[in-house]
Amino acid sequence: MKSRTALIAAFAAVTMTVTACNGGTNAAAEGDGTTLTIASVDQGSIEKVVDAFKAANPGVTVNLTTSGADQYQQQIRTQLASGTAPDVMTVWPGNGNPGATYVIAKPGYLLDLSGQPWAARLPDAFQRVAQYEGRTYNAVFGLNGIGAVYNDRALRDSGLTAPGTWTELLAFCRAADGRGTPAFALGIQDNWVTQLVLYALAATVVYGADPGFDAKLQAGRATFANSAWTTAMAKYRQLADAGCFQDNPLGTSYEASQTLAATGKTLGIIQGNWIISLLKRKDPAGTYTMRALPATDDPASFVMPAAAGAGYGVNAKAKNRDLALRFITFVMSPEGMKLFTETQGSLPTLPDAGTAVDPGLAELQTFVREDRTVPFMDQLWPNAKVQQTMLSGLQEVFSDQATPADVLTDMDTDYKAGS
């Protein structure tokens, strides 16, 4: 009898423990009104914004954690599913990665920010990727572009000038290679880097010629394999064959590629504008200029990939919702946006921020102003798999395990499966 009582007591204890844990995951505990928790991937730039926010809100404590994108995406999904996510979190625009707006807003994990004063002022291109089913969930504060970033000093020392057409680009690569200093650093050991050159080429080759390509893709009237994406892929290979990149790009990490470009071992790097602040950390005296990557011989046809960068969303179960909204309002205010974008090296998404843009980004600014940009291609793809197939596929192309046609066909399969 005693044994049975003990058994029941032990079972009850475990049941209560399990129940308590479940309660913890589902219920949003009330916060203290003064402590804000933030998880971010903006390492090196959000810290200044948080300091300014704290200065403007005396008595507020901010618990900030930052991490790399891969680690962050793993962590935030687990935290959201278990009810332990922070009040404010990095959210990527559109779809196509595990931490993107559509992915997190769809199951109801993000607070609707449509009523915030800045939401209606976001330009259409940003609203499209900051919204899910017509409601705004992402405070997108910065815009990023992709292009050829030249190390001004290395370029000057080489006696070469930045190419203005596709033919000039190939000649530039051959000349640079002949001088023993390859044109561009390429660090595709980290597979996310593989997409950047392709996006820079596809912007002009695919979207410059057919701005409605995405709509056709979504409607099933176009495919990657039977489109100008094949041309973009072929041009990527041509760049490699012309000696545009250093030896062994597959063994070169993103970090190592930065060192090559910053120290003048290459004349530049094809990357996003965020690279400029990273290059300056390695060589504070260096200056860098971003230009559109030529993809045809008609400069008037050039289009640059430029799109909303990662922004911030508010946890639908935020413990300190008011404080979280106050932080988001600060990020999207002229003061917060200016601070964020200047530190990060991006362009502001709202026109009145007054950001002092790095002079090296003048051409990107011009392209944005003239509406000669296209969003990063993956942002409107139906699932994360299309992009992942492309990333690993490009590594396979560079290591002769697959052909560009194989990769594009696989991307079509994944696109159809997810649409």
Partner 1 sequence: MQGRRHAPPWWFTLPALLLFAFVVLLPSARGLHYAVTDWDGLNPDFTVVGLDNFTAMADDPDAFGAVRHTLVVAVAITVLQNGLGLLLALGVNSAIKSRDVLRVLLFAPAMIAQIVTAYLWRNLLGPDGAVNSALGAIGLGGLRRDWLGDPDLALWMIVLVVVWQYAGYSMVIFLAGLQSVPKEIYEAAAIDGTGPVRRFWSIIRPLLAPALTINLMLSIIGGLKLFDQVYAMTGGGPGHATDTISTLIYKEAFTLGEFGYSIALAVVLTVIVAVASGAQYTVLSRGERAAS
Q: How far is the CB of 127 from partner 1 (least distance, A)?
A: 24
Q: Answer yes or no: are the C-beta atoms of 198 and 289 closer than 8 Å.
A: no
- Nearer of residues 245 and 288 to partner 1, judged by Cβ: 245
DSSP state of 232: H
- Nearer of residues 105 and 324 to partner 1, judged by Cβ: 105
Give CA 414 to chain center in angstroms.
Answer: 21
- Nearer of residues 238 and 413 to partner 1, judged by Cβ: 413
Q: How far is the CB of 22 from partner 1 (least distance, A)?
A: 12
Strand partners, 61: 35
- Nearer of residues 45 and 383 to partner 1, judged by Cβ: 383
Q: How far is the CB of 107 from partner 1 (least distance, A)?
A: 4
How far apart CA 311 and CA 92 sit, in angstroms, is: 6
- Nearer of residues 127 and 246 to partner 1, judged by Cβ: 246
- Nearer of residues 96 and 375 to partner 1, judged by Cβ: 96
Q: How far is the CB of 255 from partner 1 (least distance, A)?
A: 10
User: DSSP secondary structure string, 25-41?
Assistant: HHS-----SSEEEEEES
Q: How far is the CB of 268 from partner 1 (least distance, A)?
A: 18
Q: Rule CB under 8 A: which residues touch partner 1?
A: 3, 6-7, 10-11, 13-14, 17-18, 70, 73-74, 77-78, 80-81, 98, 103-104, 106-107, 109, 189-191, 246-253, 256, 383-385, 388, 392-393, 395-396, 398-399, 401-402
Terminal C-alpha separation, the chain: 61
- Amino acid at the residue 93: P
Question: Per the structure block, which two tokens stand in for 60?
Answer: 């507020």
Angle between the N-to-C axes of helices 229-241 and 194-202, in degrees from 0 to 180, rounded to the nearest 10:
120
Q: How far is the CB of 218 from partner 1 (least distance, A)?
A: 20
Q: Is 180 helix (H, G, I), strand (E, B) or coil?
A: coil
How far apart CA 297 and CA 250 sit, in angstroms, is: 29
Q: Answer yes or no: are the C-beta atoms of 301 and 97 closer than 8 Å.
A: no
